[in-house]
Structure 1
Amino acid sequence: MPTFNQITTSEQLEAVIRESQEKPVLLFKHSTRCPISAGAYAQAQSYLKGSPNPDAAYALIHVVEDRPVSLEAADRLGVEHASPQAILLKEGRAVWNVSHSRITSSALQEALS
């Protein structure tokens, strides 16, 4: 089963963006202090436990603990910061994103199929 690889540095963020040149990358921005984010994270975990895209990579940024990287991701990808937020990267750029209650296992399944 795929898991989220936590991103804590600019270098790791850069590596994830580069990786999206080769395969889709789902970047999940999560607040460990927010119940809405906890629900969205549970939906993302449900997606990973179901039938996730085996050819994709999965990355996680904790928006409070790693705020500089979270803000850098928003800036680099041209996606307004939200938390929770799911961003799909392909070919080095954001091609899809949702936030808050729109993050569901089925939405992730559809976006990554």
Structure 2
Amino acid sequence: MNWTRLTDATQLDQIKEESTEQPVLIFKHSTTCSISAMALSRMERNWSDAAGIKPYYLDLLANRSLSAQVAETFDVQHQSPQVLLIHNGACVYDASHMAISFQMLTQAV
């Protein structure tokens, strides 16, 4: 799984644009949370590049304000851990905690 790090608010416009070509995943991860670590591990174990989803990784502790911008930009409530699936510029699926599932992501595409 090849993560692209989400570290700057300018990337949000890029993500919206990319999502018109292929779905984009944003994984919001808290590096100090065991539930977040478990959700990340499960996602990485089940990931398949064949699904055609581009994955972005947001470290919540290093980028707190950016996490709030993600929630506002895509009109979702902030959670941690959280995945957002962006397609055609909008969030079409989001899940948090143990509801994070690669299978559910692929069904939402």
Corresponding residue number in structure 1 for 2:80: 83
User: Normalising to structure 1: TM-score of the pair?
Assistant: 0.87
- What is the alpha-carbon distance in structure 2 between the residues aligned to residue 47 and residue 14 of structure 1? 28
How far off is 1:106 after superposition? 3.0
Do 1:13 and 1:69's aligned partners in 2 also have CA atoms closer than 8 Å? Answer: no
The Cα offsets for residues 52-110 of structure 1, whole Å up to 9 and x where unpaired, read as: 44422111111111111111000000010001001110000000111001113433343
How many residues are treated as equivalent by the alignment?
109
Contact 1:26/1:89 (<8 A) preserved: yes
Q: Distance in 2 between matches of 1:16 and 1:100?
A: 23
Q: Is the 8 A contact 2:93 2:105 kept in 1?
A: no
2:108 to 103, 106, 111: 111
SS in 2 for 1:26: strand
Give yes or no for the alignment of 1:71 onto 2:71. no
Two-structure CA RMSD over aligned residues (Å): 1.5
Percent identity of equivalent pairs:
33
Q: Flag structure 1 segments of 5+ consecutive residues without an equivalent.
A: none
Structure 2 gap segments, 5+ residues each: none
Alpha-carbon distance in structure 2 between the residues aligned to 1:66 and 1:102:
23
Match of 1:6 in 2: 5
After superposition, where does 1:1-80 map in structure 2 within 5 Å? 2-48=1-47, 51-80=48-77
Distance 2:73 2:54 in 1: 19
